[in-house]
Amino acid sequence: MQLSQFYNLPFTKSAAEYVDSLDVELLDIVYKNVYDIALNRAESRIVQALEGDIEKPLFADSQITEMEVELLSYPIARLLLSCIGDLYAIRRYALKEAKSSGEFLKGVLSKMDEGEALSFLEELAHELGVRVEHMEGGSRMSLTSYLKYASHIHEPRWKLVNREVDRGMVVVRRDEMIRLLQEAMRTKVEEGMPLSVPPEVCRRLSVRIGRIRTLLGEKKARFEQENVRGPERAYPPCIREAMRLVREGMNLPHSQRFALTSFLLTIGWGVQEVVELLASSPDFDEKMATYQVEHIAGSTGTTYTPPSCATMQTYGNCMGKDELCARVSHPLAYYRWRVKKEGRVKKEGE
């Protein structure tokens, strides 16, 4: 791959080899002012990931130095996150890095003809350790890779039973290939994190680490304030677990997402609040999520009630049972019992 193609896909093998070829020592980066620009960009990558989306710049072919800074900032961002050691921050960063790279990829591919686009995707897949083949009208991914990455995407169409499998290869459309590679990118960014970083390096980066920690704390506090109606401790363990997974950027299986959504709507969350909670999912599509949440809230005339404990157990969504669970048969009963016991849950604004 050319530098102009991978500076925004910094987790590829080519990118790592290019950074190695720059022969930059870790201690130089933290001690020499000349690398401040790369440190600044590394910090902004993390800040952008925590606050929204990572903006990927576009450079002209002549701007080799700027591209190198962009490339160098990626391993430094991983270093900073490793010093911080917060799993939420690491997952969020990996998710946003992959999402922005997926967008960047779509832009790059849209400027290529079909043949170029297919060989670019093949090369990228190879760089990420994913085996793909191209054929007329689509692509095929090895069964092992498909299972590894599609298992994180919980829409029914990704299930193997709904796919065409041909001699150990799964047939995928081009947009599906991009989505699967995005998942491979997310896995790649998260791989090995947190890294083992010499304490001296973390100490040297302490001012930047402090700033990121402050932002992280504010973000977590804001999330609690804005999105939690009443004390979350009154929610049943299965729902708290589903919320934890969503906040950590995991895709929930359809049945668990339904249980979470219907439960929250029933206890008084608004549609927008639920959509905002789901926004951390890697597959989040605001239009689709709003439609689904509104549907569950009763936009078509049918209001859905959350599933009972028996149904939750059948789908493997009954998680973290505690003593009270033995006395209830429905997550709502659990919640109401706890609310009654602890006093009425304050409504937002009261």
Give the footprint of ligand SF4 on this chain (CB under 6 A). Answer: 236-238, 309, 312, 318, 320-321, 325, 328, 331, 334
Residue 309 among known ligand-binding residues = yes
Decide: helix, strand or coil at residue 278: helix
Q: Shortest gap between Cβ of 244 and ligand SF4 (angstroms)?
A: 13
83 belongs to an annotated ligand binding site: no
- In the complex, minimum distance from the CB of residue 240 to ligand SF4, in angstroms, rounded to a whole number: 9
Is the bond leading into 194 cis (omega within 30 degrees of zero)? yes
By C-beta, is 138 or 237 nearer to ligand SF4? 237
- H or E stretch including 139? strand 138-142
Choose between 236 and 282: whose C-beta lies nearer to ligand SF4.
Answer: 236
Q: Are 263 and 232 in contact (CB under 8 A)?
A: no
202 labelled ligand-binding = no
Complex with ligand SF4: residue 113 or 323, whichever CB lies closer: 323
Q: Which two tokens stand for residue 291?
A: 């439609």
| Least distance to ligand SF4, CB of residue 262, Å | 13
3-state SS class at 214: helix
- Please, what is the minimum distance in Å from the beta carbon of residue 267 to ligand SF4? 13
Confirm whether residue 238 is marked as ligand binding.
yes
Q: What are phi and psi of 169, to 5 degrees?
A: -120, 140
Is 152 or 244 the residue whose CB approaches ligand SF4 more closely?
244
For residue 133, give the 3-state DSSP assignment.
Answer: strand
Amino acid letter, residue 200: E
- What is residue 23's DSSP assignment? T
| CB of 312 vs ligand SF4, minimal distance in Å | 4
Q: How far apart are CA 144 and CA 163, in angstroms?
A: 14
Minimum CB distance to ligand SF4 smaller for 48 or for 311: 311
Q: Give the helix ranges, DSSP H, for 162-319.
A: 174-190, 199-204, 206-227, 237-247, 254-266, 271-278, 286-297, 309-314
Give the annotated binding-site residues for [4Fe-4S] cluster: 238, 309, 318, 325
